[in-house]
Amino acid sequence: MNIDDLTPELVRAFPAPPAELSRLQERLAAAAQRDGILDVAYRTIDSPVGPLLLAATAEGLIRVAYASEDHDAVLQALATRISPRMLHAPGRLDAAARELSEYFGGHRRRFGLALDLRLATGFRRTVLSHLPEIGYGHTASYAAVAQLAGRPRAVRAVGTACATNPLPVVVPCHRVVRSDGSVGGYLGGPAAKRTLLALEAA
Amino acid sequence: MTGKQPFEAVVAAHGGTVLRVCRAVLGAADADDAWSETFLAAMRAYPDLPADANVEAWLVTIAHRKAIDVTRAAARRAIPVGEVPENTAADAGPGRLDGDLADALTLLPARQKQAVAYHYLAGLPYSDVAAILGGSPEAARRAAADGIAKLRRVAGRIHERSAR
């Protein structure tokens, strides 16, 4: 033993075990929530379309993200755009996790969650606000959604709104398909879109 | 603009170091409270932290202040006792270097203890340690050296004991 450099011994003498740190992190998340400084809470859930990141502000669910979107990148974007006061805090996402689990289990047809739509602005937001009008198990073409949103010629802009939907699954952009009946693109990948449509058709 | 990283990443990166520092400066019993107060205060102030700030030095500075608060609160709560409890370092038993070192550090004068914790456990340069403790970097270096010399004697004794 080298007693000249005490640093490793000191580090061992004052341990910081992972289990204790995660307990302290949970306590911090609860205190931050209580003090109103938890601007963004997040957690991930498993689903038939892969792990989903869920994030919520005090106003409501602000983001659902597929793994293909890179969850770390999504969190960094939220930190920059909304607030860096962000913690892994599953509690605020309990209702969202429960409703999504019911949805994926085939027991829920519409979501009753408070939504924070501030990541979508202008016409994109208008489009998203009309998507819940396409009922569970139904689809609509991009052109039909353009009509619903009051700009019948803005078919391409509807495509962009769906491709940048910050709340996929919950705001059902997967129900928007091509006029020829093919599923079209999807921010979670075409396989995820087909999975959701098959789930709703069952 | 990429902006600041999520505060969760700050907790993940520095939570362990801050807990070690709190344990060293305050002892295990009060360390959790100091850790929690430190990160809650840090999270509150995080949006205003300059983007190029040294996050670890900032956190240790907050932890230093919170540790003083916790110590003061404990002193106010304390009931005077007729007899001072015996030095717990003797109770750690032979060969338990970790426990003995921890106890030996706890018994150092506050400044030496803090200088050792902030330099050796948190890895801060003496200029940062001095900024936290007040005084010159040279004084911070001396305080840490004095503390380490005492700890080394403890480590040496244990070393001899276990070699016997």
Both A142 and A74 in one domain: the answer is: no
Whole-angstrom distance, CA of residue B109 vs CA of residue B133 = 13
Q: Do B120 and A85 lie within an 8 Å CB cutoff?
A: no
- Look at residue B87 in the predicted model and tell me its pLDDT: 46
Closest Cα in chain A to B24? A14
CATH for B125: 1.10.10.10
Domain range spanning residue A153? 122-201
Reported as a single tens digit per residue, the pLDDT across B19-43 is: 999 999 998 889 999 999 999 999 9
Both B72 and B105 in one domain: the answer is: no
- Is residue A55 within 8 Å of A61, Cβ to Cβ? yes
* Conformation bin of residue A29: beta by default, left when phi > 0, alpha when psi is -120 to 50: alpha
Backbone phi, psi, residue A88, to 5°: -70, 110
- Look at residue B94 in the predicted model and tell me its pLDDT: 44
Q: Could you tell me if residue A5 is inside a domain?
A: no
Both B79 and B98 in one domain: the answer is: no
Residue B157 has pLDDT above 90, yes or no: no
CATH for A156: 1.10.10.10
For residue A156, the cross-strand partners are none
B74 three-class SS: helix
Q: Does B156 touch chain A (CB under 8 A)?
A: yes
Q: How many domains does chain B have?
A: 2
Both A49 and A91 in one domain: the answer is: yes
For residue A45, the cross-strand partners are A52
End-of-domain residue from the set A104, A131, A149: A104
Q: Could you tell me if residue A3 is inside a domain?
A: no
Both B154 and B138 in one domain: the answer is: yes
Q: Average model confidence (pLDDT) for chain B?
A: 86
Please list the ranges in chain A whose pLDDT falls under 70: 1-4
Q: What is the mean pLDDT of residues B86-102?
A: 55
- Of B5, B39, B120, nearest to A28 by CB-CB distance is B39
Regarding an ipTM greater than 0.85, the answer is yes
Interior/surface letters A60-96, b for 16+ CB within 10 angstroms, e for the rest: bbbbbbbbebebeebbbbbbeebbbbbbbbeebbebb
Both A86 and A142 in one domain: the answer is: no
Interface test with B, best of A14, A26, A70, A75 (most B CBs within 10 A): A14
pLDDT bin (cut points 50, 70, 90) of residue B164 is low
End-of-domain residue from the set B63, B85, B107: B85
Q: Does A73 touch chain B (CB under 8 A)?
A: no
Q: Mind telling me the catalytic residues of A?
A: 173
Tokens of B39: 């990160």
- Percentage of residues in chain B having pLDDT higher than 70: 82
pLDDT bin (cut points 50, 70, 90) of residue B90 is very low
CATH for A35: 3.30.160
Of B96, B27, B94, B34, nearest to B64 (Cα)?
B34
- Look at residue B97 in the predicted model and tell me its pLDDT: 56
- Look at residue B75 in the predicted model and tell me its pLDDT: 80
pTM of model > 0.90: no
- Look at residue B132 in the predicted model and tell me its pLDDT: 96
> Using CB atoms and an 8 Å cut-off, which of residues 8-67 of chain B contact chain A?
8, 11, 15-17, 19-21, 23-24, 32, 35-36, 39-40, 43-44, 46-47
- Largest pairwise CA distance in chain A: 78
- Is residue A163 within 8 Å of A187, Cβ to Cβ? yes
Both B105 and B57 in one domain: the answer is: no
Both B67 and B134 in one domain: the answer is: no
Question: Taking the CA of residue B82 as centre, how many other CA atoms within 13 Å lie in the half-sphere pointing to its CB?
Answer: 0
Q: Could you tell me if residue A196 is inside a domain?
A: yes
Tokens of B133: 């403790």
- Look at residue B3 in the predicted model and tell me its pLDDT: 79
Amino acid type, B18: V
Q: Does A87 touch chain B (CB under 8 A)?
A: yes
Domain range spanning residue B132? 93-164
Residue B71 has pLDDT above 80, yes or no: yes
- Of A7, A11, A76, nearest to B5 by CB-CB distance is A76
End-of-domain residue from the set B53, B85, B117: B85
